[in-house]
Amino acid sequence: MNQGPFRVGEATQALKVRRLTMYRTYCSTKRAKEEMAVSGVFSSSQTYLAFITIIGILCFSSVPTFGQTTDVGTNTVTSASAANDNQKMPDSSNSSDNSYFTLGEVVVTGSATGSLKSQDVLTSVDILGADVVENQNVDFAWELFRQAPGVMTTNFNQGGVSGKFSFRGFNGEGEINAIKLLIDGIPSNTNSGNMEFLDMVFPLDIQSIKIIRGTNDARYGLHNIAGNANVFTRTGGNYTKARISYGSFGTVDVQASSGFEAGGFSQNYFDAYRVTDGYRDHSDLNRYTFAGKWFYSPSNASYKVGLIARLYESEADSPGYLSFAESRSRPRQSPSFNATDGTNRNIKTVSGHFDADVTSNLFFSLKSYVNKFDRNRFVRFTAAGSQQERITNELQYGAIATLTYRPHIQWFDDFVVEGGFDFQQQENESIRYRAIQRRRQALTRNQEFGFLIYGGFLQAVIKPVHWLKLVPAVRIDSADGDLVNRGTDDNPSSTVLDLNDYDAIWQPKFSAVITPIEGYSLYGNWGRTFQVGIGAGAYQNGPALEPSINEGWEMGVKLSPVKWIEGRVAYWEQTATDEVRREFGGAGDSENVGETKRRGFDAQLRMSPINPLSIWASFSWQEGIITKPGPLETGNKNNEIDHIPDYVVSGGVDYQITPAVRGSFSVFAQGDYFLDKANSTRQFGDYYLVNLGLFYQVNKYVGLDFQVTNLTDKYYEYVWNTPTTLHSPGDGRAFYGAVNVEFDLLDKIL
């Protein structure tokens, strides 16, 4: 099935290129394997795990009926039943029994088969299309989430430790990481819940981003405290896309993506490199990524099998933090004591994907994966403090399996039952040294810990009549593991700690949507999620910490009175017991914050009153309160949780000036916040950013664009407290120009 922007299309052309494509496929795959072997991308243990993953998938490929691609990057369903219909499913503006909201073009083809997808979750679901993100000029992919409704961003601006996104009243500090990140359906958080795997993805390789806010998605457990985000990259199709840009601060960005598909076999490759001197002194950044994706689905069988491999390397200097006076007088400076600070990262992932139609109404999906994360960071926060070398090594492997049953029940408008099981095993190291100009002085932490999380879920979609949809669900998770503390230079004794006894963690959920009138939907949901300790804080070292149980609910209305306008408003609340907060210093333990309550209001609007004009806007108000403090900080009752802005605003306008020229305007703003739980400082952090873009399509194959970020040169910053305030200024006004090329390579050759 060809899905690139310039398709081979006709059956005669497909037959003409099949042999040539198969030969190239063989050569490309062989060459890729040889290069990966030579460069030592995977250690022997990783190679073994990847081999087992591939063998397991191939063993399943003997299922004798046809297959289904579930929730993949191109959102293209390739099962036999879907291929026969090949119909475009209605987008959110034309479908009433859902609660999702789209920005940009999101094409979904096929019929209602296979596993349940993000669109089926009845909560605040937002989908960003490729056309919204692929031409954005950003240092890191987390910055793309500023365009998503209700999402706040935290910009540390410290090189390899750059920033992250968050929502639902959870901050981005890293003490509590409440968002489950997936890339092509594969879990992609580190042990702490951080999202550094997201840096492997560049804008041109993204097909769509799906964000689920709330507590009622039963498919995921660990880190799914406030919701999840799934980034889908390009798979399938015949195309070649390239983008070369140059701009302020000596920034050079090169991205290339290509896809080849024929005879049921598709292969996609992505390569990107970005280098910049950075806005501030001592901010040099070098990033490189490579991805290969290979999928096969025969036209007369019932399965789709595939393999995705990624490699990422980065080297970055860190400019450090400034005092209040320094940040206002010379925001681009870097303190002299940060002259040797910086971060090197090496990330590798491999995943196997298998989907099958077991029968005409029973569907099976399996994903298995190996993730390897290595980071070496040198950091010094103040002149009075010492430089630290922080080494983090993590190996993750796991699998996700789902079975979906779609029986035809005469007295139901629709009925689906889905169950699933997943696990993840982690083998981690956390090592720290006190250092002077990157020379080790003393060992201050030496920990090895294993962590196993496993769980399952069962949910049903029940639609007794066309205007009512009900989704009851339940999920259960459990964890196991141990930590070996090998001691330090000051305390060389070694200890072994078991994981806290979390028992089975039950998470019931329920959702519903009522559509009394076409174009108007009232939806609501309730659910529980959980949080456990991270790092050393998850193990029995001191007072036992129970799992934090989050309980949330939401009520909302989605409306589309006419075809060219769509809106959604919602109110939500989320409470937590025994909230666990990570402590960054010392042994990396956790503390009990106590009971908390978060709540907020979201409003979103998208409209296109005339054909060349598109407008979108969102506003979110939020707050987080400590309702019952933990035993060590009883004075924090009714205080605000730190680093949570009161509001988040985003919006934009796109206007097609001529058939070849398009202009864009976007704005992002957020409110201020306290810097600590005691609310002892003034509030910081409020700012707005305005961006402009002009895009010119020279011809069918070549486009040019010019972008201005932070048009008003607004000063903005990230601030934290030590207890004196430390400031990290964001980038000033910047200009970028780019050349975009797109064509079908096979079509050009043949």
Beta strands in 488-564 (DSSP E): 495-498, 505-517, 520-531, 548-559
- Among the listed residues 216, 99, 213, the one whose alpha carbon sits nearest the alpha carbon of residue 508: 216
Is the pLDDT at 503 greater than 70? The verdict is yes
pLDDT for res 123: 86
pLDDT for res 115: 86
Is the pLDDT at 40 greater than 50? The verdict is no
pLDDT digit string, tens, across residues 591-611? 788 999 999 999 999 999 998
User: 442-451, 619-628, 739-748: lowest mean pLDDT where?
Assistant: 739-748
Q: Which two tokens stand for residue 19?
A: 């042999």
Q: Residue 12 and residue 549: Cα distance in Å, rounded?
A: 59
User: Collapsing DSSP states into helix, strand and coil, what is residue 204?
Assistant: helix
Domains of the chain, start order: 11-477+507-749 (2.40.170.20)
Is the pLDDT at 704 greater than 80? The verdict is yes
Beta bridge partners of 728: 718
Q: Position 233: which residue type?
A: T
Q: Residue 28 and residue 24: Cα distance in Å, rounded?
A: 6
Pairing status of strand 647-658 against strand 661-670 = antiparallel
pLDDT for res 686: 95
Is the pLDDT at 165 greater than 70? The verdict is yes
Inter-residue contact 708 to 735 (CB < 8 Å): yes
Q: Residue 330 and residue 317: Cα distance in Å, rounded?
A: 19
Inter-residue contact 296 to 262 (CB < 8 Å): no
| Residue 107: pLDDT band with limits 50, 70, 90 | low
pLDDT for res 18: 41
Inter-residue contact 699 to 727 (CB < 8 Å): no
- Among the listed residues 43, 147, 56, the one whose alpha carbon sits nearest the alpha carbon of residue 103: 147
Residue 131: its H or E element: helix 130-133
- Among the listed residues 273, 197, 264, the one whose alpha carbon sits nearest the alpha carbon of residue 230: 197
Q: DSSP secondary-structure letter at 137?
A: -
- What is the distance in angstroms between the CA of the first residue and the CA of the last residue of the chain? 18
Is the pLDDT at 560 greater than 70? The verdict is yes
pLDDT for res 35: 41
Is the pLDDT at 21 greater than 60? The verdict is no
Q: How many CB atoms are located within 10 Å of the residue 360 CB?
A: 15
Inter-residue contact 624 to 644 (CB < 8 Å): yes
Scored b (16 or more CB within 10 A) or e, 532-546 reads bbbbbbbbebeeebb
Inter-residue contact 2 to 8 (CB < 8 Å): yes
pLDDT for res 96: 62
- Among the listed residues 167, 66, 255, 64, the one whose alpha carbon sits nearest the alpha carbon of residue 600: 167
| Residue 23: pLDDT band with limits 50, 70, 90 | very low
Section 101-113 average pLDDT: 66
pLDDT digit string, tens, across residues 632-661? 788 899 999 999 999 999 999 999 999 999
pLDDT for res 748: 58
Q: Which two tokens stand for residue 328?
A: 């206002």
Section 373-391 average pLDDT: 96
Is the pLDDT at 88 greater than 80? The verdict is no
| Residue 342: pLDDT band with limits 50, 70, 90 | very high
Is the pLDDT at 24 greater than 90? The verdict is no
User: 26-40, 60-74, 297-311: lowest mean pLDDT where?
Assistant: 60-74
Calculate Rg over the CA atoms of the chain: 25
The percentage of the chain sitting over the pLDDT mark of 90, rounded to a whole number, equals: 72
Q: Which two tokens stand for residue 185?
A: 């359906």
Is the pLDDT at 249 greater than 70? The verdict is yes
Q: Residue 715 and residue 686: Cα distance in Å, rounded?
A: 10
Is the pLDDT at 14 greater than 60? The verdict is no
Maximum CA pair distance of the chain?
76
User: 103-112, 265-274, 504-513: lowest mean pLDDT where?
Assistant: 103-112
Q: Residue 645: which residues within 8 A CB-CB, separation 6 or more? A: 152, 622, 670, 671, 672, 673, 685, 686
- Among the listed residues 547, 536, 625, the one whose alpha carbon sits nearest the alpha carbon of residue 583: 536
Q: Residue 736 and residue 83: Cα distance in Å, rounded?
A: 42
Q: Residue 646 and residue 604: Cα distance in Å, rounded?
A: 17
Is the pLDDT at 137 greater than 90? The verdict is yes
pLDDT for res 122: 83
pLDDT for res 313: 98
- Among the listed residues 349, 41, 393, the one whose alpha carbon sits nearest the alpha carbon of residue 185: 349
Is the pLDDT at 351 greater than 80? The verdict is yes
Q: DSSP secondary-structure letter at 49?
A: H
User: 160-164, 268-272, 540-544: lowest mean pLDDT where?
Assistant: 540-544
Query: CA 249 → CA 60, 332, 641, 733, 748, distances in Å?
Result: 51, 12, 36, 10, 37
| Residue 664: pLDDT band with limits 50, 70, 90 | very high
> Is the alpha carbon torsion for 376, 382, 387, 388 positive or negative?
negative
pLDDT for res 673: 96
Q: Position 581: which residue type?
A: R
pLDDT for res 4: 37
Mean of the per-residue pLDDT values of the chain: 86
pLDDT digit string, tens, across residues 298-309? 887 689 999 999
Pairing status of strand 206-213 against strand 239-247 = unpaired
User: Collapsing DSSP states into helix, strand and coil, what is residue 17?
Assistant: helix
Residue where the block lists tokens 């609007």: 605
pLDDT digit string, tens, across residues 172-225? 888 889 999 999 999 999 999 999 999 999 999 999 999 999 999 999 999 999
Residue where the block lists tokens 């050349």: 739
pLDDT digit string, tens, across residues 186-196? 999 999 999 99
pLDDT for res 281: 97
